């Protein structure tokens, strides 16, 4: 189906959302379209706080630095990833959300190690492996982009226990015109409890600017506050990939259409810039990508490159123009340099005001083993991928 065929209707307000489901063959089927959605933006609810103990821990990196301070119990570690290893590889992943050192003392069997009590929320990441009989534990702390080793330990008390999944957060479809599949779901809501669909978010020209997965279980339906034959429908589970509240003004800006000027992302903080990058991910798919261009010189405006998200916003604009996508972190950026995203090496990239990024990203390290800052790592990656010439000014 073509979204454009369903992006307009004869009413006094526009279609802003289209609900679509794919069948087993990947064919899209219209479920409905609506004028509004309440609850689309939501910050994730943090998991309940728990107390865990890292046993026999050899701290490293940030954890070692915190333990060396006299006020260690007042210092937060941010999110700490716990990888559960067998003899060869990690088989399970946990995230200790907003971890804080509560207390620590020497380990009874080895004074060179520590037992460290942490307070944290605990989130179990999905895994397809069985836990080993005798696991060991690797710890990582820092941002998703630049997590670094925080040590290892022999056990984590309190980690392996049953936890109640958080209750799903509903989503309200306002002014919805149901298509036949959604009408069937309204007649037999239990049939669709485990089904999911995509909520396609339209800009004012009727083009898809974002897509989010939502559950099709229905809690309730009633005549719409917008009148006529429309309905207001409550979906039991609005999904886990909702944009944060901070993204609302960015989405409002993109609703007017893709950005036509550079640096419109610059006034936002790191979270806002990350939300901006989220919206660019559709830009290389819609319309269909054109053949890659090579050669020539591109100019990167480095005045606002003060974080990782800003760096990738600026590079994409330099290579492709405002609102375009060319990776949002190191690995995705490397993939884009391999071709298929509009520009491919060789070319020349002149990075103006590069010292701003060099200073701002000096402590952000993608690979602790090579010790390069994120800025240096990106420059090296450019120069090694097909002969990009980087001119730092």
- Rg of the chain over CA atoms, in angstroms? 24
Tokens of 56: 């026999």
Q: What is the structure's pLDDT at 226?
A: 96
Phi and psi dihedrals of 64, rounded to 5? -65, -40
Q: CB 230: neighbour CB atoms within 10 A?
A: 22
Task: Determine the pLDDT at residue 333.
Answer: 93
pLDDT at 301: 97
Task: Quickly list H helices, the chain.
Answer: 61-67, 180-187, 248-255, 270-280, 308-320, 330-337, 354-360, 374-384
Write out pLDDT tens, residues 256-283.
998 999 999 999 999 999 999 999 987 5
- CA distances, 359 to each of 133, 315, 355 (Å): 46, 17, 6
The candidate with the shortest Cα–Cα distance to 364, out of 250, 268, 270, is: 270
Look up residue 103 and give its two tokens. 């207390």
State the pLDDT at residue 298: 96
Residue 317 — φ and ψ, nearest 5°? Answer: -65, -40
* Dist. CA 39–CA 139, nearest whole Å: 35
The mean per-residue pLDDT over the stretch 189-205 comes to 86
pLDDT in tens, 319-366: 999 999 999 998 899 999 998 898 999 999 999 999 999 999 988 877
Cα(351)–Cα(312) distance, integer angstroms: 13
pLDDT band at 191 (very low <50, low <70, confident <90, very high): confident
The residue count for the chain: 393
CB 330 within 8 A of CB 324: no
* Non-local CB neighbours of 252 within 8 Å, separated by 6+ positions: none
Q: Which of 20-29, 89-98, 229-238, 382-391 has the highest mean pLDDT?
A: 229-238
- pTM, rounded to two decimals: 0.83
Sheet holding 389-392, edge to edge: 297-301, 348-352, 389-392
**Can you tell me which residue has the tokens 């936002």?**
268
Token readout for 253 is 């800006």
Q: Cβ neighbours of residue 371 under 8 Å, at least 6 residues apart?
A: 365
Please state whether beta strands 49-59 and 110-124 pair in parallel, antiparallel, or not at all (unpaired): antiparallel
Model confidence band, residue 368 (pLDDT cutoffs 50, 70, 90): low
- Dihedrals phi, psi of 245, to nearest 5 degrees: -60, -35
**Terminal Cα-to-Cα distance of the chain (whole angstroms):** 48
DSSP 137-163: EEEEES-SSS-EEEEEESEEET-SS--
Q: How far is CA 105 from CA 82, 151, 319, in A?
A: 20, 16, 53
Query: What CATH class is the domain 247-392?
Result: alpha beta
Task: Calculate ∠ Cα 95-368-121, nearest 5°.
Answer: 15
pLDDT of residue 187: 87
Residue position matching structure tokens 């200790």: 96
Q: Which residue has tokens 């207001």?
A: 232
The mean pLDDT value for 151-166 works out to: 90
Contacts of 287 by beta carbon, 8 Å cutoff, 6+ apart = none
Report the C-alpha gap between 196 and 203 in whole angstroms.
23
């Amino acid at each position: 189906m073509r979204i454009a065929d369903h992006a307009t209707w004869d009413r006094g307000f526009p279609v802003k959302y289209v609900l679509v489901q794919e069948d087993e063959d990947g064919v899209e089927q219209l479920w409905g379209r609506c004028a509004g959605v309440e609850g689309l933006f939501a910050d994730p609810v943090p998991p309940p706080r728990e107390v865990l103990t890292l046993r026999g821990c050899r701290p490293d990196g940030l954890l070692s630095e915190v333990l060396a301070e006299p006020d260690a119990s007042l210092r937060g570690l941010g999110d700490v990833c716990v990888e559960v290893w067998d003899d060869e590889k990690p088989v399970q992943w946990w995230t200790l959300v907003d971890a804080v050192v509560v207390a620590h003392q020497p380990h009874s069997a080895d004074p060179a190690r520590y037992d460290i009590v942490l307070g944290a929320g605990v989130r179990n990441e999905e895994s397809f492996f069985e836990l080993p009989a005798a696991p060991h534990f690797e710890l990582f702390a820092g941002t998703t982009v630049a997590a670094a080793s925080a040590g290892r330990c022999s056990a984590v008390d309190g980690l392996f226990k049953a936890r109640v999944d958080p209750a799903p957060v509903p989503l309200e479809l306002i002014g919805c015109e149901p298509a036949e599949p959604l009408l069937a779901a309204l007649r037999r809501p239990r049939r669709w409890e485990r089904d999911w669909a995509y909520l396609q978010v339209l800009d004012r020209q009727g083009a898809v600017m974002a897509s989010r997965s939502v559950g099709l279980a229905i809690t309730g339906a009633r005549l719409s506050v917008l009148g006529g034959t429309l309905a207001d429908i409550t979906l039991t589970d609005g999904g886990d990939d909702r944009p944060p509240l901070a993204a609302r003004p960015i989405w409002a800006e993109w609703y007017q259409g893709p950005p036509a000027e550079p640096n419109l992302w610059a006034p936002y903080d790191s979270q806002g810039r990350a939300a901006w990058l989220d919206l660019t991910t559709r830009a290389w798919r819609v319309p269909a990508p054109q053949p890659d261009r090579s050669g020539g010189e591109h100019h990167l405006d480095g005045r606002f490159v003060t974080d990782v998200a800003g760096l990738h916003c600026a590079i994409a604009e330099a290579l492709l123009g405002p609102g375009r996508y060319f990776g949002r972190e190191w690995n995705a950026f490397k993939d884009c340099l391999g071709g298929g995203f509009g520009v491919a090496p060789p070319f020349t990239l002149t990075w103006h005001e590069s010292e701003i990024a060099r200073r701002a990203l000096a402590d952000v390290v993608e690979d602790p083993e090579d010790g390069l800052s994120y800025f240096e790592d990106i420059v090296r990656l450019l120069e090694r991928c097909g002969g990009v010439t980087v001119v730092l000014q």
